[in-house]
Amino acid sequence: MMKLCDKSSEKLHLMMKLCDNSSEELHLMMKLCEKSSEELHLMMKLCHKSSEELHLMMKLCDKSSEKLHLMMKLCDKSSEKLHLMMKLCDKSSEELHLMMKL
């Protein structure tokens, strides 16, 4: 919480949602506390998701906006698509566009 005390109210609101969640989610929040609004909105969508999705978010938290938009599309998808996303998260833009079509 000390890390967050100078953050925006949006970030504090997100922290409140996470404060009763697992240590894995708290660890992820620490990684996100300096991130953009876009990434925080994505985290809000994920904060009640499976650990598989949380692991994926960890991989994405330093990625491009394009990849974050793709993650937003995937966050309610099947595990098969999540596995595919894991394979793609270090790939080129061209491959990401292909994933969006899938």
Closest CA to 70 of 48, 90, 50, 47: 90
The whole-number average pLDDT for the span 26-42 is 56
Residue 3 has pLDDT above 50, yes or no: no
Q: Distance (Å, rounded) from C-alpha 55 to C-alpha 62?
A: 13
User: Residue 2: what pLDDT?
Assistant: 42
What single DSSP character describes residue 51?
Answer: H
Higher pLDDT, 3 or 60: 60
The number of distinct structural domains making up the chain is 1
Judged against a pLDDT cut of 50, whether residue 4 lies above it is answered with: no
8 A C-beta contact, residue 53 and residue 42: no
| pLDDT tens digits, one per residue of 38-85 | 555 555 555 555 555 555 655 555 555 555 555 555 555 555 555 555
Domain extent for 25: 2-101
Task: Note the pLDDT of residue 16.
Answer: 52
Under a CB-based contact definition with an 8 Å cutoff, are residues 70 and 102 in contact?
no
Q: Which residues contact 70 (CB under 8 A, 6 or more apart)?
A: 85, 88, 96, 99, 100
Q: What is the pLDDT of residue 52?
A: 59
